[in-house]
A and B are shown apart, each in its own frame.
Chain A
Amino acid sequence: MHRGKGMKFVGDSRVPAERKPNIPKDYSEYPGKTEAFWPNFLLREWMVGAVFLIGFLVLTVAHPAPLETIADPTETGYVPLPDWYFLFLYQLLKYEFAAGPYTVMGAVVIPGVAFGALLLAPWLDGGKERRFYKRPIGTGLMILGVISIIFLTWESVDQHDWEAAEQQGQIQEDMEIDESAAGYEIYQTQDSCISCHGGDMMGGAAGPNIFESDYDTDEVIDIIQNGIGEMPGDQFEGSDEELETLAAFIANDGQDPDNGDGGDGGDDEDEDDGEENNDGEENEDAGDNEE
């Protein structure tokens, strides 16, 4: 590089006027089968990245990101669970030596020592030897740490009630029932039905939401007449014709089957529109609750 007297610059800048050609270095003099990062190695890295990305996208499409219902701080029964990579910490706090009066142990001391040691590893293990089998203490402690993390995560997953977790926090699909339908009017006269399933048919003291299960008209009639599970039969008061109208109304997800509005035989577009409206309404409700 030219230095000192006689240096030329571009204009009045500090950029030297003398151009150097941009020719890659020759790696043949480096030891072994060395290759250039650009473009040889990066191209291969790029291909590994592409394969990785495909796997990643397949995972993304196969398992949509979960979303539960909007946060409700007044819900006291909710069993919380952190994301999986914090489970080992969460589990640690369940053991006697790290809970209650010793929470400081589980929350600060044990993780602090572990991560502090990780941070200071170069000074805790200051020897020149790099091979892991030549420095058994460091290697042993690291393996112990990894096994503890895997064990604690495993225990946490094992002890968590996944079935209960699946039930809680679900998004409730708000249904819109056609209250002008003949079936709905018939239902309103059935005190026995209402006493368990509620006046809005959405479930009540003893019975579930009527529309929860997917039965067709004949099955609904059969259930009303003969009962199912804890539900007794023969509670319906009215003619067979009324029974059939009610059953058709229930089987048609709360829409009047005679209107051709939704249902099995109805046109699908209407049904879709109905569902979207429901979503919108549900969101509004959720917002109202927050206010």
Chain B
Amino acid sequence: MLQKVYDWVDERLDITPLWRDIADHEVPEHVNPAHHFSAFVYCFGGLTFFVVVIQILSGMFLTMYYVPDIIHAYESVYYLQNEVTHGMIVRGMHHWGASLVIVMMFLHTLRVFFTGSYKKPRELNWVVGVLLFFVILGLGFTGYLLPWDMKAYFATVVGLEIAEAAPFVGEFARVLLAGGDIIGAQTLARFFAIHVFFLPGALLGLLGAHFFMIRKQGISGPL
């Protein structure tokens, strides 16, 4: 049955080459922990992606309840945390996932650096990876404000003060992010938009480029 469906689609769209590109490639021995246990360091990238997927899914469920305005934001998070079935777990996964994704990404960066995998011909993939690092830090920073509780608010105040210290563009960057002179309703709406639309869009685009390049070039050889 499944084969027939596949054949039906394949006849019309010729998906076999696509499928071969995505799924059918070799995994060399030196990155496979089943052969050398020390190769577990090559798992960090995959686990980073795994946590990113968890973040996207849990975030999608959080937006079912979250209301991005200063009067209801806190109450909706409070409700989500205390009343909604499994709300505490979904919010907990998103909260701790944010930390885990940074830990995993940090380890992945160190692995790539110390194995020299960023060298020719993989320079571009390294650059995209560092950009991904920045995007994820940005997601962490903007997401921290959204519950609109005390520590969220004052951490953002400090963060925007730091941004303001930049010469020439500092003031502009602060006003752009805060949406005005004070940190309030506009800031929350902006951070929500950045956290839920702008940065995830950039994240998915960069991840696509990251994976395209690794498939095109293959994983770096053994040392």
Mark A residues whose CB is within 8 Å of B: 10, 13, 15-16, 19-20, 22, 24-25, 27, 30-38, 40-41, 44-45, 48-49, 52-53, 56-57, 59-61, 63-73, 75, 78-86, 89-90, 93, 103-104, 106-108, 115, 118-119, 121-123, 125-132, 135, 138-139, 142, 146, 168-169, 279, 283, 286-287, 290-291
Contacts and interface: CB of A to CB of B under 8 A. Distances in A.
A85 B133 CA distance: 12
A128 B19 contact: no
A34 B50 contact: no
Nearest to B22: A38
B118 to A, nearest CB: 5
B27 A49 contact: no
B148 A90 contact: no
Nearest to A59: B96
B126 A82 contact: no
A287 B95 contact: no
Contact of A22 (B19, B95, B100, B155): B19
Contact of A83 (B33, B118, B140, B167): B140
B120 interface: yes
B149 A41 contact: no
Nearest to B7: A19
Q: For the side of the interface on B, what is the size category?
A: 35 or more
Contacts of B182: 73
B113 A121 contact: yes
B178 interface: no
Contacts of B99: 83-85
B16 to A, nearest CB: 5
Contact of A64 (B26, B88, B117): B88
A106 B167 CA distance: 12
8 contacts: A33-B35, A56-B51, A56-B96, A65-B91, A70-B74, A119-B127, A130-B119, A287-B72
Contacts, number: 233
Most A CB contacts (10 A, CB to CB) among B74, B109, B159 go to: B74
B37 interface: no
A291 B151 CA distance: 20
Nearest to B104: A52
A123 to B, nearest CB: 7
Interface string B60-90: 0000000000111011011001100000110
Given A56-B97, A71-B154, A83-B144, 12 more contacts: A27-B26, A37-B25, A49-B47, A60-B96, A65-B91, A80-B155, A83-B155, A104-B167, A108-B167, A129-B116, A169-B149, A283-B75
Nearest to A149: B106
Interface string B21-49: 00111111110111100000001001100
A128 B153 CA distance: 48
Nearest to A127: B119
Nearest to A32: B29
B56 interface: no
Contacts of B43: 45, 48
Contacts of A90: 158, 162
A80 B26 contact: no
A63 B118 contact: no
B206 interface: no
A256 B99 CA distance: 47
Interface in B1-26: 6-7, 10-14, 16-17, 19-20, 23-26
Contacts of B32: 33, 35, 41
B119 A122 contact: yes
B116 A37 contact: no
